[in-house]
């Protein structure tokens, strides 16, 4: 923003503040530095729309989950192996660290920390454990769980603690911007200073002579043991969360909120940039041989990369952000820790599937070569690709039109393709067109070779199938006059052909004579594929209605299979795209929009193969039947192991899946932040979204936990005064959680018509909850913290719109459509009825000192009352208030003002006696800090600034291109959060700011 514009804003703010500045508290002072966002929560774009890996193509292995460890209450922040790989130590948001054996049995719980335990690591001999905590300490324990030493000295959260390779030293990293070296007796040896923001991690090199640190100042730094800065690694554009040396000490890998990890040499030169994660990368570390790197991200995945920065593996299975990922010391396992409360162990030698990534458009088809060593794919991007699974080489053939399908000849030397044109084409594998099969009068839907490779059968919208020789000569026309022919396939002995058209499958001999037909009777049926078993004893047809049918050779139905009609944001129905038998005839493989499935011939579901990020539209089986290809609109192909051994071991919980939702979700709702509240100790804050997601973040922007269960918009979040309990409020119910993320109680109305929860409030001591409902019972309810109903607050004659406790927790005020507000004590006794409103009362809340109440009505009237029911002041805010209005009227934090934040983006101010202070709509939304010394202004155009009225100072928040919607201050007024909207996007961005680091202007400074 230019100097002139800044000056105009400052003058306008100053002119406004002259009126109210005398009423503000005096003697505010602070230390100010360069403007800096302290932290921000990450964005989460749709991963399959990110073309970062789509230029040359990749073969990506998806590793198998070996086992799961569960026991922590809330987020698990880190997990690491013991040197002999027999034990695992984990650190959790529940203030504990825990030791597990490899089978997943919990052996020891390390109890003593008073806050979130952020990291835990073994000593090199495996006999000790060091933990780091947000209580400001690190602690050393023996393997039995006995605390030996407490490392005290840091002045803020301790983010990491690690042993040196000889086990004699420990390095810690803290929010106080320092790293410190300690001996194992707890004596501080050295302090490393130089970072300009919190230090998020610190580690020794393998020879113990150097230290690498990471920081929220967007850098990593290498130091000697005396604290001398050797090299600063600059390049990341956001917080650096971790930095680690390679085993030989010659390279460094870093992980950042900028969605990348980077590999550096010791001079600070970037050797590789690891791009591909869809969100913040929280950790990155080398494999024991230094050849691989594993990263963990908030996008719910961990990824494995080679040293050049090419992704070669993915670990998908967590339901929350992956906070940490590390290799075992033998390199065969990876352990991951997640905000979903679980720890997963992965076997890098076992692959669930391989993903082929490289097409720039939706993938239409995928099929194997006869020897199973090559895969051919077609895409909307206009290319045909041949992928060699042995040498990982990719050949690309550019077609002039988008190729819809492609299949190899039995000898693997030819390819036949179809497109939206009226012909099929035969190619050699170098991409040369040999012949065109012309004659159809409409689009060709499929083309396949005969088993001996001498013939090709095509299916077309012109109601015919046709048989050709490979020179392109038409031999036979198969015509049933039953509508468009969607598929045509040879039997495995080459003697018969089966075609699908309308609601019928037709069986022909190769001379064109109709042998029999299999008809699905009913207007809902439409055959989209038909295939023989190898011995021709069985036939399977798949129908568009969501069913597959197995027939014997006489035409009798043996089995009918119906698919679940799942829907997601990517498709509105679970379409069926095909069905085929495995070569041994024991299993049936089907593919629908949400993935692949394997069934036995009786129709029993054996396994599901899900995970694509968009609709699956095609599949193919390998010649030996041990692998399945699925092609998707997400631009990828996946190769799945469906061998008998794999089917015996697999269960659907091991298969990463994102498209198994039964309820339609909208991305914009999932990203829109509707509620935000700071904890009383200002250490973390909680956000609620329009889709019902609730997330806990620390003030550095790190996601600590996700509270799952709500299905509707979060309308309110309350903390107990000690910060140990959190109340989340949605239309479906209210829930009480511990601050570690454990669900303590769920509060629902007993009647179905009580499902619409309008308001809920948590008492300051966290022991009581009051709820109001849009129900015909017209009551509010009081509950204890376990979710047990204590009593009904009976008296209202219409819907209850709002319920709130007084600051001391002794009173409750309710507002109702019956045009009254009522004051109750916590025994349910009605103390006073506030009458005087001329329309429905939509809200009622106490002043900060609990001595006054303000109510608002649907006609735009606001009334101030004392707690005895006396009307003190009445005024009109100028706008009506409905149940769905975003207009909010409340006391300022010091109780001196009434602030009306009007729907539409501006604020009006009154004194506590009802006198008008400002109705200037040009100022936008105004928010006061809790100490009353600061105000934040958000203008309609999305710009924002923070002012100090008594000093006539202004700080303009540089957030472009984001449009600020709201500002929320922490309780101690030292931080604030901005919620911003990204233009032309459904994503909300949250940023945390340190008041002490804003760039302040005065009226004379510009």
Q: What is the DSSP letter of 72?
A: -
Taking Cα atoms as reference points, which of 236, 240, 238, 233 lies closest to residue 264? 233
Better pLDDT: 329 or 885: 329
Range with the poorest average pLDDT among 142-151, 213-222, 697-706, 806-815: 697-706
The token pair that represents 336 in the structure block: 């991951």
The span from the CA of 6 to the CA of 858, in Å, is 39
Q: How confident is the model at residue 39 (pLDDT cuts 50, 70, 90)?
A: low
pLDDT above 70: percentage of residues in the chain: 85
Paired sense of beta strands 311-316 and 703-707, if any: unpaired
pTM confidence score = 0.60
The predicted model gives 721-728 an average pLDDT of: 88
Decide if pLDDT at 269 tops 50: yes
pLDDT for 1000 equals 78
The predicted model gives 848-864 an average pLDDT of: 90
DSSP string, 788-810: -EEEEE---SS-EEEEEE-TTSS
The span from the CA of 131 to the CA of 816, in Å, is 52
The predicted model gives 839-868 an average pLDDT of: 91
pLDDT one-digit tens code per residue, 127-150: 999 999 999 999 999 999 999 999
pLDDT one-digit tens code per residue, 207-232: 999 999 999 999 999 999 999 999 99
pLDDT one-digit tens code per residue, 621-658: 888 888 888 888 888 888 888 775 445 443 333 333 33
pLDDT for 625 equals 84
Paired sense of beta strands 538-543 and 547-552, if any: antiparallel
Domains and CATH numbers, the chain: 64-70+155-347 (2.130.10.10), 378-516 (2.130.10.10), 520-645 (2.130.10.10), 749-918 (2.130.10.10)
Burial profile 278-296: b = 16 or more Cβ within 10 angstroms, e = fewer: bbbbbbbbbbeeeebbbbb
pLDDT for 964 equals 80
Q: Among 225-234, 709-718, 779-788, 911-920, which range has the highest average pLDDT? A: 225-234
The span from the CA of 351 to the CA of 61, in Å, is 6
pLDDT for 576 equals 82
Better pLDDT: 927 or 988: 927
- Cβ atoms of 261 and 297 within 8 Å: the answer is no
Decide if pLDDT at 12 tops 60: no
The span from the CA of 1006 to the CA of 458, in Å, is 76
Q: What is the DSSP letter of 752?
A: G
Decide if pLDDT at 904 tops 70: no
Q: How confident is the model at residue 930 (pLDDT cuts 50, 70, 90)?
A: confident
C-alpha triplet 919, 924, 929: angle, nearest 5°: 95
The predicted model gives 488-500 an average pLDDT of: 94
The predicted model gives 663-676 an average pLDDT of: 50
pLDDT for 949 equals 76
DSSP string, 174-233: ETTSEEEEEETTS-EEEEEE--SS-EEEEEE-TTSSEEEEEETTSEEEEEETT--EEEEE
pLDDT one-digit tens code per residue, 367-402: 888 888 888 888 888 888 888 877 677 788 887 777
pLDDT for 899 equals 83
pLDDT above 90: percentage of residues in the chain: 43
pLDDT for 962 equals 66
pLDDT for 919 equals 67
The span from the CA of 729 to the CA of 749, in Å, is 13
Taking Cα atoms as reference points, which of 553, 564, 623, 559 lies closest to residue 592? 564
């Amino acid at each position: 923003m230019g100097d002139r514009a800044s000056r105009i804003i400052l003058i306008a703010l100053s002119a406004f503040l002259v009126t109210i500045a005398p009423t503000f508290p005096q003697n505010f002072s602070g230390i100010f530095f360069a403007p800096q966002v302290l932290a921000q929560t990450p964005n989460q774009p749709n991963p399959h729309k990110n073309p970062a890996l789509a230029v040359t193509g990749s073969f990506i292995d998806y590793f198998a989950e070996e086992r799961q460890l569960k026991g922590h209450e809330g987020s698990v922040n880190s997990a690491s192996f013991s040197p002999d790989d027999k034990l695992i130590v984990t650190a959790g948001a529940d203030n504990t660290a825990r030791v597990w054996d490899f089978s997943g049995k919990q052996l020891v719980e390390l109890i003593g920390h008073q806050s979130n335990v952020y990291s835990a690591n073994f000593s090199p001999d495996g006999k000790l454990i060091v933990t780091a905590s947000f209580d400001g300490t690190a602690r050393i324990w023996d393997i039995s769980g006995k605390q030996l030493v407490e490392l005290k000295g840091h002045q803020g959260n301790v983010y990491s603690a690690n042993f040196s390779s000889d086990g004699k030293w420990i390095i810690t990293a803290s929010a106080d911007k320092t790293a410190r070296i300690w001996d194992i007796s707890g004596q501080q040896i050295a302090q490393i200073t130089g970072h300009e923001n919190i230090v998020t991690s610190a580690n020794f090199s393998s020879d113990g002579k150097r230290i690498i640190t990471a920081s929220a100042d967007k850098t990593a730094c290498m130091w000697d043991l005396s604290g001398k800065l050797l090299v600063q690694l600059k390049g990341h554009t956001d917080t650096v969360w971790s930095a680690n040396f390679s085993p030989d000490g010659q390279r460094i890998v870093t992980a950042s909120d900028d969605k990348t990890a980077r590999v550096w040499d010791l001079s600070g030169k970037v050797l590789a940039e690891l791009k591909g994660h869809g969100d913040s990368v929280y950790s990155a570390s080398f494999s024991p041989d230094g050849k691989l790197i594993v990263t963990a991200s908030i996008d719910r995945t961990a990824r494995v990369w080679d040293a050049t920065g090419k992704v070669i593996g993915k670990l998908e299975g967590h339901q929350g952000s992956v906070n940490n990922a590390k290799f075992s010391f033998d390199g065969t396992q990876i352990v991951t820790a997640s905000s979903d409360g679980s720890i997963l162990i992965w076997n890098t030698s076992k692959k669930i599937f391989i993903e082929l990534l490289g097409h720039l458009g939706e993938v239409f088809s995928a099929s194997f070569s006869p020897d199973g060593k090559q895969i051919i794919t077609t895409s909307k991007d206009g290319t045909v690709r041949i992928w060699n699974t042995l040498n990982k080489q990719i050949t690309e053939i550019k077609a002039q039109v988008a190729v819809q399908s492609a299949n190899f000849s039995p000898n693997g030397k030819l390819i036949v393709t179809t497109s939206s044109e009226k012909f099929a084409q035969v190619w050699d594998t170098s991409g040369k067109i040999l012949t065109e099969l012309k004659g159809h009068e409409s689009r060709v839907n499929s083309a396949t070779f005969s088993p001996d490779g001498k013939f090709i059968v095509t299916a077309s919208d012109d109601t015919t199938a046709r048989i050709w020789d490979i020179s392109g000569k038409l031999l036979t026309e198969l015509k049933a006059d039953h509508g468009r022919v969607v598929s045509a396939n040879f039997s495995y002995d080459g003697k018969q052909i089966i075609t699908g058209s309308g609601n019928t499958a037709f069986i022909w001999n190769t001379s064109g004579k109709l042998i029999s037909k299999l008809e699905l009777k009913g207007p809902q049926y439409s055959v989209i594929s038909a295939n023989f078993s190898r011995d021709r004893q069985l036939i399977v047809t798949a129908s568009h209605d969501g069913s597959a049918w197995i027939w014997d050779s006489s035409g009798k139905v043996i089995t009918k299979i119906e698919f679940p009609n799942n829907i997601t944001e990517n498709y509105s129905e679970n379409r069926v795209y095909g069905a085929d038998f495995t070569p041994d005839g024991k299993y049936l493989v089907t593919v629908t929009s949400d993935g692949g499935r394997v069934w036995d011939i009786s129709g029993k579901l054996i396994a599901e193969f899900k995970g694509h990020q968009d609709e699956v539209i095609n599949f193919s089986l390998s010649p030996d039947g041990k692998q399945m290809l699925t092609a998707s609109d997400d631009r990828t192909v996946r190769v799945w192991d469906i061998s008998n051994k794999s089917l015996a071991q697999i269960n659907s919980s091991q298969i990463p899946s994102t498209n198994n939702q039964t309820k339609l979700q909208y991305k914009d709702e999932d990203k829109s932040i509707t509620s935000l509240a700071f904890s009383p100790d200002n250490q973390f804050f909680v956000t609620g979204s329009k889709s019902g997601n609730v997330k806990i973040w620390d003030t550095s922007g790190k996601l600590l936990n996700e509270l799952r269960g709500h299905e509707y918009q979060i309308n309110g979040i309350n903390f107990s005064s000690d910060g140990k309990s959190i109340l989340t409020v949605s239309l479906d119910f209210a829930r009480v959680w511990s601050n570690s993320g454990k669900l303590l109680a769920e509060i629902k109305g007993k009647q179905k018509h009580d499902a619409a929860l309008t308001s809920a409030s948590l008492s300051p001591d966290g022991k009581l909850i009051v709820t109001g409902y849009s129900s015909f019972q017209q009551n509010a309810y009081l509950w204890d913290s376990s979710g047990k109903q204590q009593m009904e607050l009976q008296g209202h004659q219409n819907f209850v719109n709002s319920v709130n406790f007084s600051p001391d927790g002794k009173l409750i005020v309710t507002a109702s459509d019956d045009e009254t507000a009522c004051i109750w004590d916590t025994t349910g006794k009605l103390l006073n009825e506030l009458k005087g409103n001329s329309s429905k009362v939509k809200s009622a809340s106490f002043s900060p000192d609990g001595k006054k109440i303000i109510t608002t009505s649907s006609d735009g009237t606001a009334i101030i009352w004392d707690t005895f029911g006396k009307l003190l002041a009445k005024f009109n805010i100028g706008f009506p208030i409905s149940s769905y209005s975003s207009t909010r009227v409340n006391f300022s934090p010091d109780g001196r003002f009434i602030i009306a934040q009007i729907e539409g983006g501006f604020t009006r101010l009154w004194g506590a006696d009802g006198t008008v202070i400002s109705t200037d709509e040009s100022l936008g939304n105004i928010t006061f800090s809790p100490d009353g010394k600061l105000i934040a202004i958000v203008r309609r155009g999305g710009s924002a600034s923070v002012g100090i009225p008594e000093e006539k100072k202004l700080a303009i928040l540089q957030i472009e291109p984001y449009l600020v919607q709201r500002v929320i201050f922490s309780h101690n007024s030292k931080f604030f959060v901005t919620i911003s909207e990204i233009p032309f996007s459904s994503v909300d961005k949250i940023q945390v700011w340190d008041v002490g680091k804003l760039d302040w202007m005065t009226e004379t400074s510009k």
